[in-house]
Structure 1
Amino acid sequence: MATVEKTENVRAVGRALEILLAFTEDDPELSAGELLKRVDLSRPTLYRLIYTLEEHGFLVSVGEPQRFRLGPSVARLAHVWKSTLDLSTLAEPVLRRLWETTRETVALFVPQGQMRLCVAELASPQPLNFKRGVGYTERLALGATGRAILAHLKTTPEQLRTYVQGTEVNLKQLETELSGTRRRGYSTSRNELIPGAVAVAVPFFDQEGRVAGSVGVFGPEVRLDAARQKALAAMLLDESARLSEMLGYGTRPA
């Protein structure tokens, strides 16, 4: 009997989580009838779980007829998760998959004002490789990993002009490159910061839909021709979508 009871308790937890995950940014409030269409439960079971979730603050009921929305306990968990989030640890599986597949240097960058900071890097195991190391900083207007971020910042022409001050970057060319980056979804550079080096980078986004950083792959141009760059871009876009999802992108409660 103890085993049966334990199995039922686990199943109830799973069903309760299904109820919570039924709420989305587009559907922040749901009636019991709408919840029944999203979870495979009987009406008595649904109400029993709803009332349990209400007792613990994970759901609140509003309006007449009665509708439900996520409660303050969800917000508390989200706050704890966000405050203890270690981006480099969270992104480690993403970087590791890219590193194992490409055998090139892979790095993670976050924006800091007009600069970007490398917070994680896995160096290529091949004899000929390029790396800068954790802690490396550079202007956002320079290099693929910088422009992958800059392309998604909401900058005015005047603000963008300040990003290129002190560099040899042509403002018009930069605007064209940023537009192309947004269109393609990724940025590239060749012989820009390191002679003989090629980089391909993509942005990733946080729960609020803001660009949170970029992931880049770096290697010598003898290995990273145009076809290889496109293949790397496809891998990067796939993995950055996973990282954005882990950061809550596209799942923000209203």
Structure 2
Amino acid sequence: MEEVESEKGGDGVRAVDRALEILQAFGAGDRELTVAELLTRVDLRRPTLYRLLYTLEKGGFLSSNGDPQRFRLGPAIGQLAWAWTSSFDLSDVARPLLSSLWEDTGETVALFIPHGSRRICISELPSPQPLSFKRGIGYSERIVRGASGRALLAWMAPTEVQITRYCEGLEVDISTLMAQLEQARDLGYAVSHDELIKGAVAIAAPFFDHTGNVAGSIGIFGPGVRLDQAHIEQIAAKLRTSASALSSLLGYKAE
């Protein structure tokens, strides 16, 4: 009774929070959910849930059918998704996280996305230190080379045929590459030493989109004289946290 009176008394923010909780209960693989299934995912009483479901359905955010009644996301969600996608800029979304890593590490931080057999840098914050390494926005490299490339490839689940094609024209030992990809999956990040630039160390972690597919990687680059193994592990922990946060911003829900 107190719950109902609170909402009738104008506690609109609380009602909005609860409505959003219902919408967020739908995962990537949930085509439809029953009231019983929703009750296991949201902390609401059944009467309150029904009232909010009716309001969301009236606004087009949900639709329902069948007996027992099953709910699915409605057309209004699609309209919002289209508006968000059309104005979406990954660099803008990631910038606060990249800036935080840059401030914490003092090293160059960059954002990469896959493009066929290559990776492309779409954002970079160069290290302010005299001895540093940077590539620049627009820099492109084969996806099998470097930590930021392998951080993508390791989670793309390529077949052996695809791996062979990605390596065409390069002096890459495929068995070594496969071992590097397996190690990256075990650690949650990839590392390279002296691979593309002599004296450089790179650490990179993947981030994922709402479908669960790898969407890109965040890389940190610095000289080996500063990045010993202990320092690499410290940076990797921060990198994985930031990559996970970016995945969440893109709608990814870890299992």
After superposition, residues 170-189 of structure 1 pair within 5 angstroms as: 170-189=173-192
State the Cα distance separating 1:61 from its structure 2 match. 1.5
Contact 1:24 1:251 in 2 (8 A): no
> What TM-score results when the alignment is normalised by the length of structure 1?
0.89
State the Cα distance separating 1:201 from its structure 2 match. 0.7
**Per-residue deviation, residues 97-124 of structure 1 (Å, max 9, x unmatched):** 1111111100000011111100000111
Match of 1:115 in 2: 118
Match of 2:4 in 1: none
Question: Runs of 5+ in structure 1 lacking a partner?
Answer: none
After superposition, residues 60-99 of structure 1 pair within 5 angstroms as: 60-99=63-102
Moved more, 5-14 or 49-58: 5-14
Kindly tell me: are residues 159 and 131 of structure 1, through their superposed partners in 2, closer, same or farther at Cα, counting changes over 3 Å?
same
- Aligned match for 1:248, one of 226, 232, 251: 251
What SS does structure 2 have at the residue aligned with 1:118? strand
Q: What CA distance in whole angstroms lies between the structure 1 residues aligned with 2:206 and 2:214?
A: 7
Q: Percent identity?
A: 55
> What TM-score results when the alignment is normalised by the length of structure 2?
0.89
Q: What CA distance in whole angstroms lies between the structure 1 residues aligned with 2:127 and 2:9?
A: 48
State the Cα distance separating 1:46 from its structure 2 match. 3.3
Match of 2:162 in 1: 159
Match of 1:132 in 2: 135
Q: What CA distance in whole angstroms lies between the structure 1 residues aligned with 2:72 and 2:225?
A: 55
Matched, 1:15 2:18: yes
What SS does structure 2 have at the residue aligned with 1:250? coil
Kindly tell me: are residues 209 and 22 of structure 1, through their superposed partners in 2, closer, same or farther at Cα, counting changes over 3 Å?
closer
Alignment root-mean-square deviation, CA: 2.3
Kindly tell me: are residues 230 and 162 of structure 1, through their superposed partners in 2, closer, same or farther at Cα, counting changes over 3 Å?
same
State the Cα distance separating 1:32 from its structure 2 match. 3.6
- Aligned match for 2:27, one of 14, 24, 28: 24
**Per-residue deviation, residues 74-118 of structure 1 (Å, max 9, x unmatched):** 122122222321110111111111111111100000011111100
Contact 2:147 2:203 in 1 (8 A): yes
Q: What CA distance in whole angstroms lies between the structure 2 residues aligned with 1:29 and 1:51?
A: 16
Letter in 2 for 1:129: S
**Per-residue deviation, residues 34-72 of structure 1 (Å, max 9, x unmatched):** 545554555544333222211111111121122322212
Contact 1:91 1:243 in 2 (8 A): yes
Question: Runs of 5+ in structure 2 lacking a partner?
Answer: 1-6
**Per-residue deviation, residues 172-193 of structure 1 (Å, max 9, x unmatched):** 2111111211121111111111
Kindly tell me: are residues 58 and 104 of structure 1, through their superposed partners in 2, closer, same or farther at Cα, counting changes over 3 Å?
same
Matched, 1:220 2:223: yes
* Alignment coverage as a number of residue pairs: 249
Kindly tell me: are residues 123 and 78 of structure 1, through their superposed partners in 2, closer, same or farther at Cα, counting changes over 3 Å?
same
Q: What CA distance in whole angstroms lies between the structure 2 residues aligned with 1:140 and 1:37?
A: 42
Contact 2:28 2:210 in 1 (8 A): no
- Aligned match for 1:199, one of 192, 197, 202: 202
Contact 1:99 1:124 in 2 (8 A): yes
What SS does structure 2 have at the residue aligned with 1:125? coil
State the Cα distance separating 1:152 from its structure 2 match. 1.8
